[in-house]
Amino acid sequence: MVTSVQLKQLRTAQDCLDFRALFSQRSVVLVPTMGALHAGHEALINMAKQHGDAVVVSVFVNPTQFGPNEDFEAYPRTLDADLAICERLGVDAVFTPSVEVVYPNGYLNETGQAQYTQVNPPPELERQLCGLTRPGHFTGVCSVVLRLLMLTQCNKAVFGEKDAQQLAIIQRMVSDLSLPVEIIPHPIVREENGLAMSSRNRYFSTPQQLEASLVLSQTLLGIQALLIERKEQQKQRAFDEIEAGDATLFSDIDMLDIYHAQLKTFSPEAAALLKLDYLSMVNDDTFEPLTEYAGQLPLRVLMAAYVGDVRLIDNLRLI
Ligand code: AMP
C-alpha cells in the first residue's frame, strides 16, 4: 500500500519482495526498530541513506524478546508519528509486519512454550550483562533480526551501539551463518544532558525520574575520568622507572565506588528510585568479561539500571 508518493508501507512478505524487485540491481539498507522513533533512530536512518540506494525502516515490537514480566504490552506504539518521521527523512519504505507475518506458524504453543525456529547466540556472548537479567532475550532478538533480514532481502543493516551486546551478538550471527549482509554500527545518540536516547525514556515524567535516569551516563563518565587520571599516575610511575602497563588501572570495585559516589549527588527521592542491574567491563574486540583493567585492551564499560520499573542501558568505549 502506498501512503504517499515516496514512502511505501510494506506489511507482508510479498510486499517486501515486490519492493525489493524495484531495486533489483541496487543495495537496500534496513534499519530495524521497535518504533516510537526518536532522534537516535533518525541518526541511524540518515546513516543508512549514505550506505545504499534505498532505505527500509522496520517497525515491529517483537514479542519473543520480552520476558514474561517485561513491558511488551506497555511498550510505546506511535506508528503515525513514526511514519511521519520516516517520510520527512526520505525513507523509501516502512515495513510494519504483523506478528503472523514474522512468525507464520506462531511462536508459543498452548502451554506457553516457544514453538518457532530459534537462533541461539553463542553462550559466551549471551550469558552475561543483559543476557543474565533477560534470559532468552537475545534468542528473541537474533530470531527476529534474521527474519527481518531475510524478509527484506537487504544488503546492509544499521544497528546502534546503544545496544552494544546486541550489536556484538548480531555481528556474530551474521558471521556464523555467513549471511550476505553488512552490519553498520552507529554511535550512541544522547540528549544534551548525556542521557542515551531511548523509546523507554517516554516512560519518565517526574523530575525525580528524569534526575535518576542520568545515573548511567554520569557513572560512565566518572569511570572515564578515573581511567584518565590513573593513566596519568601510571605514566608518572613509569617515569620513576616502575614498569608501566602491569598495574591494574581500575577494577569492578572501583566502578561500583563511582556509582555509589554518583548516587550521593542525587536527591534522596531520585536515588530511592534507582536499582543497579550491572556495571561491567568487557574487552571490546571479543566481548569477554573483565574484572580488572590494566590498560592494554580495547575496553567498553556497560551498565544497566532500573529507574522505578523502567530498565535503562548505556555504555561507553573507553580506549
Ligand atoms: P529499538 O527501537 O530501541 O529496538 O532500537 C532500534 C535500533 O536503534 C537499535 O539498533 C538500537 O541500538 C538503535 N538505537 C536506539 N537508541 C539509540 C541511541 N540513543 N543511539 C544510537 N542508536 C540507538
Under the banding of pLDDT at 50, 70 and 90, the label for residue 110 is confident
pLDDT digit string (tens) for 166-187?
Answer: 999 999 999 999 999 999 999 9
In this predicted structure, what is the pLDDT of residue 3?
A: 47
Candidate from 30, 71, 85, 163 with most ligand 1 atoms within 8 A of CB, to mutate: 163
Per-residue H/E/C for the chain: CECCCCCEEECCHHHHHHHHHHCCCCCEEEEEECCCCCHHHHHHHHHHHHHCCEEEEEECCCHHHCCCCCCCCCCCCCHHHHHHHHHHHCCCEEECCCHHHHCCCCCECCCCCECCCCCCCCHHHHCCCHHHHCCCHHHHHHHHHHHHHHHHCCCEEEEEHHHHHHHHHHHHHHHHCCCCCEEEEECCCECCCCCECCHHHHHCCCHHHHHHCCHHHHHHHHHHHHHHHHHHHHHHHHHCCCCCCCCCCEEHHHHHHHHHHHHHHCCHHHHHHEEEEEEEEEECCCCEEECEECCCCCEEEEEEEEECCEEEEEEEECC
Q: What is the model's pTM?
A: 0.95
Ligand 1 within 6 A of CB of 304? no
Candidate from 44, 189, 200, 311 with most ligand 1 atoms within 8 A of CB, to mutate: 44
Q: Give nearest CA residue, ligand 1 atom 23.
A: 160
Ligand 1 within 6 A of CB of 162? yes
pLDDT digit string (tens) for 209-252?
Answer: 999 999 999 999 999 999 999 988 888 876 665 555 567 899 99
**Average pLDDT estimate for 201-206:** 96
